[in-house]
């Protein structure tokens, strides 16, 4: 498994990262442990979680994912061999993350509460990478650069990037966090974090976790240059477009146990242009003799701004297929054909 540098640190992470958001909902504790065992054996040393998980977010399941990872650490003794990443929620109307129904905000009290609970859940005394799951401010779009700008008003109680960075810096000093990152962030927000760190002598971002796939390359429009020049590499999620780029939902199929079948949450991939684009990439994979999931993951892995591609699977055979993409290098012809389709379809599912 290829290892890549995390930001400007001396930490090396695998080019594929094990995503865990199904642990505690679609996957049992035993299944989660089996996935971590297999991924670790295949050379993945990087696990990603969040206080929010599992997905979909619910009060009664919140925190299960981290707790499943924690029991695996306790059982295997491999905590020091894994680069563990987790996240704190940003501004949210969900009222079950904090004490007494307090709505989620990036205040000192809330960040400290979230971090301490994550540490208990994970059965560890430090997190290698602590990420802000999304900003404290209102933004035009969640999870990617917008393809169409929507005006949003600043929140009255918005907390500044500088104040958030100072809070995280204190946790780094306390030894609870080793490095910090952002998620679902914009080019503007990322650069503000970097500028504040340089100006105030505070910890620097090492990563940004945003959506990136064949049908959502919006990261390239502004953030790719930031990632390359500032060494804030992408941790790409939804590289399989939440399963659509595997072909399992093609022609309206609803496989038993799949996320769409269970939760009906994936409408962004189902408008006509997104379906047309997805089918074109699936057809390209078939023409090239490639597994479509592996082609999509190998493409994401090949990007110069990508630090690690986050994998998510509910079945072991899916995980085996996905991890095998680590050894796949796409030909120049396939890459040219992918870019030709992108020129035709753009970003139909941001």
Q: What is the pLDDT of residues 202-247, one digit of tens each?
A: 999 999 999 999 999 999 999 999 999 999 999 999 999 999 999 9
Note the pTM of the prediction, 2 decimals.
0.97
Q: Are 213 and 296 in contact (CB under 8 A)?
A: yes
The answer to whether residue 236 is domain-embedded is yes
The answer to whether residue 86 is domain-embedded is yes
The answer to whether residue 24 is domain-embedded is yes
The answer to whether residue 262 is domain-embedded is no
Overall average pLDDT of the 195-207 stretch: 98
Task: Give the pLDDT confidence score for residue 148 in this predicted structure.
Answer: 86
How does residue 145 score in pLDDT terms, banded at 50, 70 and 90? confident
Per-residue model confidence as pLDDT tens digits over 54-92: 999 999 999 999 999 999 999 999 999 999 999 999 999
How does residue 42 score in pLDDT terms, banded at 50, 70 and 90? very high
Q: pLDDT at residue 162 above 80?
A: yes
Q: pLDDT at residue 157 above 90?
A: yes
High-pLDDT (> 90) share of the chain, %: 94
Q: For residue 40, list its beta bridge partners.
A: none
The answer to whether residue 41 is domain-embedded is yes
The answer to whether residue 50 is domain-embedded is yes
How does residue 164 score in pLDDT terms, banded at 50, 70 and 90? very high
How does residue 168 score in pLDDT terms, banded at 50, 70 and 90? very high
Which CATH number belongs to the domain containing residue 115 in this structure? 3.20.20.100
Task: Give the pLDDT confidence score for residue 147 in this predicted structure.
Answer: 84
Q: Domains in the chain: how many in total?
A: 1
Task: Give the pLDDT confidence score for residue 265 in this predicted structure.
Answer: 79
3-state secondary structure the chain: CCEEECCCCCCEEECEEEECCCECCCECHHHHHHHHHHHHHCCCCEEECCCCCCCCCCCCCCCHHHHHHHHHHHHHCCHHHCEEEEEECCCECCCCCCHHHCCECCCHHHHHHHHHHHHHHHCCCCEEEEEECCCCCCCCCCCCCCCCCCCCCCCCCCCCHHHHHHHHHHHHHCCCEEEEEEECCCHHHHHHHHHHHHHHCCCCEEEEEEECECCECHHHHCHHHHHHHHCCEEEEECCCHHHHHHCCCHHHCCCCCCHHHHHCCCHHHCCHHHHHHHHHHHHHHHHHCCCHHHHHHHHHHCCCCEEEEEECCCCHHHHHHHHHHHHCCCCHHHHHHHHHHHHHHCCCCC
Task: Give the pLDDT confidence score for residue 264 in this predicted structure.
Answer: 86
Question: Which residues are the active-site residues?
Answer: 53
Per-residue model confidence as pLDDT tens digits over 2-15: 999 999 999 999 99
Per-residue model confidence as pLDDT tens digits over 317-343: 999 999 999 999 999 999 999 999 999
Q: pLDDT at residue 143 above 80?
A: no
Per-residue model confidence as pLDDT tens digits over 86-117: 999 999 999 999 988 999 999 999 999 999 99
The answer to whether residue 278 is domain-embedded is no
Q: Are 171 and 115 in contact (CB under 8 A)?
A: yes
Q: pLDDT at residue 144 above 80?
A: no
Task: Give the pLDDT confidence score for residue 105 in this predicted structure.
Answer: 96
Task: Give the pLDDT confidence score for residue 29 in this predicted structure.
Answer: 98
Task: Give the pLDDT confidence score for residue 309 in this predicted structure.
Answer: 98
The answer to whether residue 337 is domain-embedded is no
Q: Closest Cα to residue 237, out of 270, 205, 213?
A: 213
Q: pLDDT at residue 263 above 80?
A: yes
Task: Give the pLDDT confidence score for residue 193 in this predicted structure.
Answer: 98
Per the structure, the complete domain to which residue 21 belongs is given by 3-241+303-328
Lowest mean pLDDT among 97-101, 172-176, 298-302, 344-348: 97-101
Task: Give the pLDDT confidence score for residue 140 in this predicted structure.
Answer: 86
């Amino acid at each position: 498994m290829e290892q890549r540098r995390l930001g400007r640190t001396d930490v090396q992470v695998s080019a594929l990262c094990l995503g865990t958001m199904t642990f505690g909902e679609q996957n049992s504790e035993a299944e989660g442990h089996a996935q971590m065992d297999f991924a670790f054996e295949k050379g993945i040393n990087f696990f990603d979680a969040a206080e929010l998980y599992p997905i979909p977010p619910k009060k009664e399941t919140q925190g299960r994912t981290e707790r499943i990872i924690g029991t695996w650490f306790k059982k295997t003794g491999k905590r020091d061999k894994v680069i563990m990443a987790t996240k704190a929620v940003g501004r949210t109307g969900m009222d079950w993350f904090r004490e007494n129904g307090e709505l989620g905000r990036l205040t000192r009290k809330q960040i400290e509460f979230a971090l301490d609970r994550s540490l208990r859940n994970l059965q560890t005394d430090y997190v290698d990478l602590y990420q802000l799951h999304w900003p404290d401010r209102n933004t035009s779009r969640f999870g990617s650069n917008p393809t169409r700008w929507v005006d949003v008003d600043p929140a009255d109680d918005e907390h500044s990037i500088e104040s958030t960075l100072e809070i995280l810096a204190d946790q780094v000093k306390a030894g609870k966090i080793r490095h910090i990152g952002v998620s679902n962030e914009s080019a503007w927000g990322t650069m503000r974090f970097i500028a504040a760190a340089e100006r105030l002598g505070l910890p620097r971002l090492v990563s940004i976790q945003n959506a990136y796939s064949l049908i959502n390359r919006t990261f390239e429009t502004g953030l790719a240059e930031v990632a390359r020049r500032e060494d804030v590499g992408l941790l790409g999620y939804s590289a399989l477009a939440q399963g659509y780029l595997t072909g399992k939902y093609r022609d309206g199929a609803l496989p038993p146990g799949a996320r769409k079948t269970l939760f009906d949450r994936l409408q962004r991939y189902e408008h006509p242009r997104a379906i047309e684009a997805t089918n074109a990439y699936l057809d390209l994979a078939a023409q090239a003799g490639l597994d479509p999931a592996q082609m999509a993951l190998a493409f994401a892995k090949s990007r110069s701004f990508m630090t690690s591609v986050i994998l998510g699977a509910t079945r072991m055979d899916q995980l085996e297929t996905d991890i095998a993409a680590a050894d796949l290098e796409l030909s120049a012809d396939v890459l040219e054909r992918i870019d030709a389709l992108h020129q035709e379809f753009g970003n139909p599912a941001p």
